[in-house]
């Protein structure tokens, strides 16, 4: 691990006295003035934004990242409790529409430094090589302007920085992980047992949870609250994997700063900085370059809200691409009932996965596929699962009293990108007067077929493990797309290096740029794409072309 420390010292900059935040580092943080033209201002301090911040700070850039939410301190701000974690989610108003409207909030997006990875489950699989060319290979989706080998070194680098624990991974581009697989709890055990009996290969991992000490980050204590923010510092999020190193290298993180508009010089067509609201005061940060990394909903919303004379339909939206091709993964959850006690809350929810059904199977009527993972919902989320079966009143209570006997799997189905699945601005405005996002989503027939197939496999696995009953709830997870990368400006918003086609000094470095989503959880890929973009940016600046 010595190699990692030389590249990214974050884990060693955290305290090792049982507390989780290096307050000294934050107190000593460099602060830029609004009228100081920084090299780069980043909007959003999540998966993409934080990675970019750390990389550029290391290269000596003067960078500041603004986040709409707080600068979290896991000791003081997070609780080991489901309902008490509501403040981790982005709960400003959003409107959902379409044939299959996607509920948001706790299920989709976060706020504050660390972004959605603060409360993500922690699965960090790579995309498969086929994901970058689904159009060529399967006649669906889109081809990326980069291919898997372009990302391979970045995947490996980020896997070391998080770090990722898991068995040797046989799917996609086979690879190993820096940390050994974790022991599994009851849910993982049943998944492995059921899959084994059906001849389905399932593997432990890949999870961004330390197995053993990593720098000053301790081992996971298997308490099951990963989706509520890890109070242990065992589960990776940029708050502990990239922000400390960025601060130590002179970057600024400015929390509680909501960006409302990207400013463009009408004459030069270049971005000049961002308007933001902090403590109720409207401010403007000048910058030589701007990177937007606010998540697949807020990034398109911000671009659309940054209309100007030059961009009447919204920033970078000359070809009506902004907000389009937004994707979610179909994430049906199937639970199985066992007379034995599973107590699935007693381990991290992310434990075991299979990618055996990830690729297109020519024998099937649908294109692309799905993966299956353990999910282990806590009581409130489990109640949603039970209530979705139509139970209420005494029946709901009765089912719920059976909680300790259930095991739960979740699928991630690749749903196809479609132009009409998109973010637009609603008439409704937020408290600052900024129009809220309206997200319309409808599935196509291929999408429905993949979700049904995934449900069938999950039911088979749980029954093979010994479940006498199974129940399923249809869900969706992981928004990506909305400002995708493409070969040209008629098909996307940014190029292969995440630079916008329309504004030469404007970058987008978050999940919005993904043209397809595979059946893999997206955070690792978002970080890898951003790390690559950062390298290109740094190289370009050195060459004088940036």
Ligand X SMILES: Cc1cc2nc3c(=O)[nH]c(=O)nc-3n(C[C@H](O)[C@H](O)[C@H](O)COP(=O)(O)OP(=O)(O)OC[C@H]3O[C@@H](n4cnc5c(N)ncnc54)[C@H](O)[C@@H]3O)c2cc1C
Contacts with ligand SF4 by CB under 6 A lie at 209, 220-226, 230, 232, 234-235, 348
Give the separation between CA 470 and CA 454, rounded to whole angstroms.
14
Q: For residue 155, what are the contacts with CB-CB under 8 A and spacing of at least 6?
A: 126, 175, 524, 525, 528
Residue 403 interacting with other proteins (CB under 8 A): yes
Report residue 392 as tokens: 């209420």
> Mapping DSSP to helix (H, G, I), strand (E, B) and coil, where does residue 259 land?
strand
Residue 354 binding ligand X, by CB under 6 A:
no
Binding characters for other proteins, 470-499, by CB under 8 A (x = yes): -x----------------------------
Question: What residue 256 binds from ligand X, other proteins, ligand SF4, none (CB within 5 to 8 A, per partner kind)?
Answer: none
Write the interaction track for other proteins spanning residues 91-130; mark x where CB under 8 A is met and - where it is not: xxxxxxx---x-xxxx--x---------------------
CB 508 within 8 A of CB 536: no
Q: Rounded to whole angstroms, what are the CA distances from 157 to 120, 177, 389, 470?
A: 20, 11, 43, 40
In the complex, least distance from residue 438 CB atom to ligand X, rounded to whole angstroms: 16
Residues 309-338 binding other proteins (CB under 8 A) are: 337-338
Q: Using the rule CB under 6 A, is 350 a contact of ligand X?
A: yes
Binding residue (CB under 6 A) for ligand X from 4, 45, 315, 411: 45
**H-type alpha helices, 70-185:** 74-77, 134-138, 148-161
Could you give the CA distance from residue 388 to residue 375 in angstroms, rounded to a whole number?
A: 17
Contact indicator for 458, 469 with CB cutoff of 8 Å: no
Give the list of residues 6+ apart from residue 17 with CB closer than 8 angstroms, or none.
Answer: none
Could you say whether residue 186 binds other proteins (CB under 8 A)? yes
Between 228 and 333, CB nearer to ligand SF4: 228
Q: Which residues of 318-354 are buried (b: 16+ CB within 10 A; e: fewer)?
A: bbebbbbbbbbbbbbbbbbbbeeebbbbebbbbbbbb
Which of the ranges 78-86, 255-263, 283-291, 488-496 carries the binding residues for other proteins, by CB under 8 A? 78-86
* 7 is an interface residue for other proteins by CB under 8 A: no
C-alpha span between 43 and 373 (Å, rounded): 32
Minimum distance of other proteins from residue 398's CB (angstroms): 4
- Told to check if 299 binds other proteins by CB under 8 A, we report no
**Beta carbon of residue 121, minimum distance to ligand SF4 (angstroms, whole number):** 9
Among the candidate windows 37-45, 183-191, 207-215, 313-321, which touches other proteins by CB under 8 A?
183-191
Nearer to ligand X, 74 or 350 (CB): 350
Kindly state the smallest distance separating residue 106's Cβ from other proteins, in Å. 7
Which H/E stretch holds residue 285?
Answer: strand 281-286
Q: How far is the CB of 247 from ligand X (least distance, A)?
A: 16
Q: Taking CB within 5 to 8 Å according to partner kind, which of ligand SF4, ligand X, other proteins, none is near residue 535?
A: none
* Contact assessment for residue 231 and residue 84, using Cβ atoms and an 8 Å cutoff: no
Q: How far is the CB of 508 from ligand X (least distance, A)?
A: 10
The C-alpha atoms of residue 119 and residue 107 are separated, in whole angstroms, by: 10
Among 523, 528, 529, 534, binds ligand X (CB under 6 A): 523
Q: How far is the CB of 129 from other proteins (least distance, A)?
A: 35
Chosen residue from 1, 25, 383, 541 binding other proteins by CB under 8 A = 383
Q: What's the per-residue H, E or C state across 486-519?
A: CCCCCCCCECCCCEECCCCCEEECCHHHCCCCCC
82 contacts other proteins (rule: CB under 8 A): yes
Q: How far from each other are the two terminal CA atoms of the chain, in whole angstroms?
A: 32
Cβ-based nearer residue to ligand SF4, 230 or 258: 230
Q: How far is the CB of 224 from ligand SF4 (least distance, A)?
A: 5
The residue among 496, 411, 545 whose CA lies nearest residue 149 is: 496
Is position 166 an interface residue for ligand X (rule: CB under 6 A)? no
If binding means CB under 8 A, how many residues of this protein chain bind other proteins? 76
> Are the CB atoms for 484 and 326 separated by under 8 Å?
no
- The tokens describing 268, both together, are 């030069």
How far is Cα 42 from Cα 506, in angstroms, rounded to an integer?
10
If binding is defined by CB under 6 A, does position 291 make contact with ligand X?
A: no
**Residue 123's binding partner out of ligand X, ligand SF4, other proteins, none, with CB under 5 to 8 Å set by partner kind:** ligand X
359-378: contacts with other proteins (CB under 8 A): 378
Peptide bond into 206 cis (omega under 30): yes
Q: Which does 235 bind (CB under 5 to 8 A by kind): ligand X, other proteins, ligand SF4, none?
A: ligand SF4
> By the criterion CB under 6 A, which residues form the site for ligand X?
43-49, 66-69, 107-112, 115-117, 119-124, 227, 258-259, 293-295, 298, 302, 350, 478, 510-511, 521-524, 526
């Amino acid at each position: 691990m010595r190699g990692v420390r030389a590249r990214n010292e974050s884990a060693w900059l955290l305290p090792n006295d049982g507390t989780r935040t290096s307050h000294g580092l934050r107190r000593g943080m460099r602060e830029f003035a609004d009228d100081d033209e920084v090299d780069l201002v980043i909007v959003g301090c999540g998966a993409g934004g934080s990675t970019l911040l750390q990389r550029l700070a290391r290269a000596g850039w003067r960078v500041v990242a603004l986040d709409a939410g707080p600068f979290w301190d896991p000791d003081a701000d997070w609780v080991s409790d489901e309902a008490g974690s509501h403040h981790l989610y982005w709960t400003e108003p959003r409107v959902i529409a379409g044939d299959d409207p996607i509920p948001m909030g706790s299920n989709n997006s976060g706020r504050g430094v660390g972004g959605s990875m603060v409360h993500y489950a922690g699965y960090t699989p790579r995309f498969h090589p086929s994901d970058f060319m689904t159009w060529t290979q399967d006649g669906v989706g889109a081809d990326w302007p980069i291919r898997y080998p372009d990302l391979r070194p970045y995947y490996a680098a980020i896997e070391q920085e998080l770090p990722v624990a898991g068995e040797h991974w046989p799917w996609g581009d086979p690879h190993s992980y820096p940390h050994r697989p974790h022991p599994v709890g009851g849910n993982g055990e049943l998944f492995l047992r059921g899959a084994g009996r059906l001849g389905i290969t399932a593997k432990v991992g890949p999870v961004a949870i330390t197995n053993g000490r990593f720098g000053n980050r301790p081992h996971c204590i298997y308490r099951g609250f990963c989706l509520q923010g890890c109070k242990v510092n065992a589960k990776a999020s940029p708050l502990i994997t990239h922000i400390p190193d960025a601060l130590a290298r002179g970057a600024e993180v400015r929390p509680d700063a909501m960006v409302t508009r990207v400013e463009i010089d009408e004459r030069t067509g270049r971005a000049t900085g961002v308007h933001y609201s902090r403590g109720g005061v409207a401010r403007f940060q000048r910058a030589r370059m701007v990177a937007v990394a606010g998540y697949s909903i807020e990034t398109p919303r911000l671009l659309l809200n940054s209309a100007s004379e030059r961009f009447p339909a919204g920033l970078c939206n000359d070809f009506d691409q902004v907000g389009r091709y937004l994707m979610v993964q179909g994430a049906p959850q199937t639970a199985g009932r066992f007379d034995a006690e599973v107590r699935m809350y007693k381990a991290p929810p992310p434990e075991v996965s299979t990618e055996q059904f990830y690729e297109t199977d020519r024998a099937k009527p649908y294109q692309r596929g799905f993966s299956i993972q353990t999910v282990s919902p806590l009581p409130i989320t489990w109640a949603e699962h039970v209530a979705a079966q139509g139970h209420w009143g005494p029946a709901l209570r009765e089912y719920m009293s059976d909680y300790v006997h259930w095991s739960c799997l979740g699928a991630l189905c690749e749903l196809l990108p479609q132009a009409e699945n998109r973010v637009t601005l609603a008439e409704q405005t937020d408290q600052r007067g900024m129009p809220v996002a309206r997200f319309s989503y409808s599935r196509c027939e291929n999408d429905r077929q993949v979700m049904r197939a995934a449900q069938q496999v999950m039911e088979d696995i749980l029954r093979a493990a010994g479940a006498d009953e199974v129940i399923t709830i249809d869900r969706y997870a992981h928004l990506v797309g909305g400002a995708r990368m493409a070969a040209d400006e008629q098909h996307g918003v940014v190029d292969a290096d995440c630079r916008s086609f329309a504004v030469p000094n404007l970058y987008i470095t978050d999940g919005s740029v993904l043209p397809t989503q595979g059946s893999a959880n997206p955070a690792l890929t978002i970080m890898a794409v951003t790390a690559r973009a950062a390298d290109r940016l740094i190289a370009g600046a050195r060459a004088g072309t940036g």
